[in-house]
Amino acid sequence: MLDSASLLKLLALLGLAAAVAILGRRMLLPRRYPGIPYNTASAGRISGDLPDLMPVYRATNEVTRAIADITTRKLGTPIAQLLFPSVRRPLIVVDDPREVEDIVVRRNKQFDRAPTFVGMFKPMFPTATISQFTTPALRAQKRLWADVMSTEFLRRVAAPNIHRSASELVELWRLKASTVHRDRPFDVHEDFKDATLDVIWTTVVGDNPGATRYSIQRLQSQLAGKEAADLTPPDGHCIKEQVAYINDAIARADSSVIPPLALKLQTYTARYRKFRRTVNGEMRRAMQKAAGRFHSLEVGRLEDEAIDRCAMDLVLRRQILQAKKAGVTPSDPTRDQTMLDEMFVLLVAGHDSTANTLCWFLRIMELYPAVQDELRAVLRAAFPGPAPPSAAEIVQADVPYLDAACEETFRLSCTATCSLRQALVDTHVLGCPVPKGAELLLIYCVDRAPPPVDEALRSDTSRASAEKLGDGLQGAPGRDLGTFQPRRWLVRDEQTGKEVFNAYAVPSLTFGGGYRGCFGRKLAVMELRIMVVLLILSFEFLPLPEDLRGMSAHEKVFREPDFPA
């Protein structure tokens, strides 16, 4: 038997062990930010919210919506925490369109790109603007590329490329609909990828990959009983394979446990080296050709913007012009990795996002035939024909219902679902304290009514914006956000009595906003506008079979419809 002294020692050791176990468990429990709602059950388990998140993600295939479903939407609050094991700090989820818009547009001194976001893209595109925090170097780089997205440049250079690509797409679909796919639906996603690849590559680099034209020629050969192998793919056709690879690589990494590490490891593979070698080679050949042309020109001729045929031309011409004015030898652009990275990010993002948005547009037209009929009637009145309208006619026309239909497509498709920001200072969001260094997941989808918020909890800039522009979410434009209603964006002009487009009807978050918003927004809007006009005037999109209907989606780099037919 134990004497009293030994028993006391044993009890002391057991008590110490219990205390260590309790303390150790508490150290392993998720960390939490005070004053921000969270799931109490998740706070009491080492794995945090992850056991709740994974089943919802597997059921929906949309990680952003799954996060919102188990945090803000489960708790009924516009802001909440996603809890992780203690090795990682919580992620603050903001699911209120007005507050998200305020953060990205008006609070750039308080929030910047989050390290998690930068880490996703830096391994593959280390010098692109998407992979950088806001610094003087970034501002200088953005200024260099700013005029690439000016209205005048896009109308002169991009619009004709978009119109040509859309016209080729119409030709391809007429051929498909009258032959191999007569009276049967077909997948349009690859066709849209080809068309948008032609647009973005030609606009950025100058050479047309010819992806859609090649598809037309292959189908014509097939109908003529010839072997497709007899056709020689265009020079730029290899770019399509490389773009598909990089999109898939980013999507796979994004669904991994540690996305930045997965992407970093991908850069050591032979497949990644092939991608870099192929794409850089194509771009460098185009650079050398353009640089040779500009080097032979005098300063006066180099000041003429009309000689720019693509975005690369504009940037190269200005660099060579500056060098000649300074009396120095221009640097070799083919060794400028910053320029190569920037061009390739424009290519990848501008190609995949627009292709998915166009898929959503067709899906919506099939689900809302009355809206499709009204849009077609409006377009026929605006462009009576008989020939299809030109690119200049489409971009210059004042057609409020067309603007509304495009904006509503961007809103309901929610192709880009979210963004990550980091607090640069101690601040508040919706009345909750947000410490410096905290990362925020900003939900961009505006497809449901947000929970009510006490106006006093909003920031001064948010309240001032609502006083100036109104809060459409509380009025008629904010009703039935899960449905497609272009007229929510139209108002009656009190002076003329005509309908006009109101860009501020509800928050527009597809492209983010502010200084770190999507660089290619104007190009994407123009591309959707021209494509919509030519497609709606050329085809009637009939309802799909029951098994292909609906708005279900899956999220990769961008949000894609499950059945893009």
Q: How far apart are CA 551 and CA 532, in angstroms?
A: 19
Residues 449-455 have a mean pLDDT of: 92
pLDDT, position 280: 87
Q: Give, as one character, the DSSP assignment of residue 31.
A: P
Q: Residue 518 annotated as binding?
A: yes
Q: Is the pLDDT of residue 24 over 80?
A: no
Q: Is the pLDDT of residue 247 over 80?
A: yes
User: Phi and psi of 426, rounded to 5°?
Assistant: -65, 130
- What single letter denotes the amino acid at residue 75? L
Per-residue confidence band for 270, with pLDDT thresholds at 50, 70 and 90: very high
Phi-psi group of 514: left, alpha or beta (phi > 0 → left; psi -120 to 50 → alpha; rest → beta)? left
- Give per-residue pLDDT as tens, 187-245: 899 999 999 999 999 999 888 889 999 999 999 998 988 876 667 888 777 888 888 88
Q: How far apart are CA 34 and CA 533, in angstroms?
A: 51
Q: Which domains does the chain have, with CATH numbers?
A: 41-106+417-501 (3.30.43.20), 147-405+525-561 (1.10.630)
Question: Across the chain, what does the average pLDDT equal?
Answer: 90
Q: Tell which wins on pLDDT, 366 or 12.
A: 366
- Give per-residue pLDDT as tens, 68-119: 999 999 999 999 999 999 989 999 999 999 999 999 999 999 999 999 889 8
Q: Tell which wins on pLDDT, 37 or 471.
A: 37
Cβ contact 144:341 at 8 Å: no
Q: How far apart are CA 337 and CA 428, in angstroms?
A: 39
Q: Tell which wins on pLDDT, 554 or 563.
A: 554
Per-residue confidence band for 12, with pLDDT thresholds at 50, 70 and 90: low
Q: Is the pLDDT of residue 10 over 70?
A: no
- Give per-residue pLDDT as tens, 111-159: 999 998 898 888 888 899 999 999 998 898 888 888 888 999 999 999 9
Q: How far apart are CA 135 and CA 143, in angstroms?
A: 13
pLDDT, position 330: 83
- Give per-residue pLDDT as tens, 484-542: 999 999 999 988 889 999 999 999 899 998 888 888 899 999 999 999 999 999 999 99
pLDDT, position 73: 96
pLDDT, position 550: 86
Q: Which residues contact 46 (CB under 8 A, 6 or more apart)?
A: 25, 28, 29, 30, 85, 86
Q: Is the pLDDT of residue 396 over 60?
A: yes
| DSSP code string of 108-130 | TTTEEE-HHHHHHHTTTSTTSGG
Mean pLDDT lowest among 175-184, 231-240, 347-356, 514-523: 231-240
For the purposes of burial, counting CB atoms within 10 Å of the CB of 120, is it exposed (0-12), middle (13-18) or buried (19 or more)?
A: buried
pLDDT, position 384: 94
Write out the E strands in 150-256. Answer: none
Share of the chain above pLDDT 90, in %: 59
Q: What is the separation, in whole angstroms, between the first and last Cα of the chain?
A: 81
Q: Is the pLDDT of residue 470 over 80?
A: yes
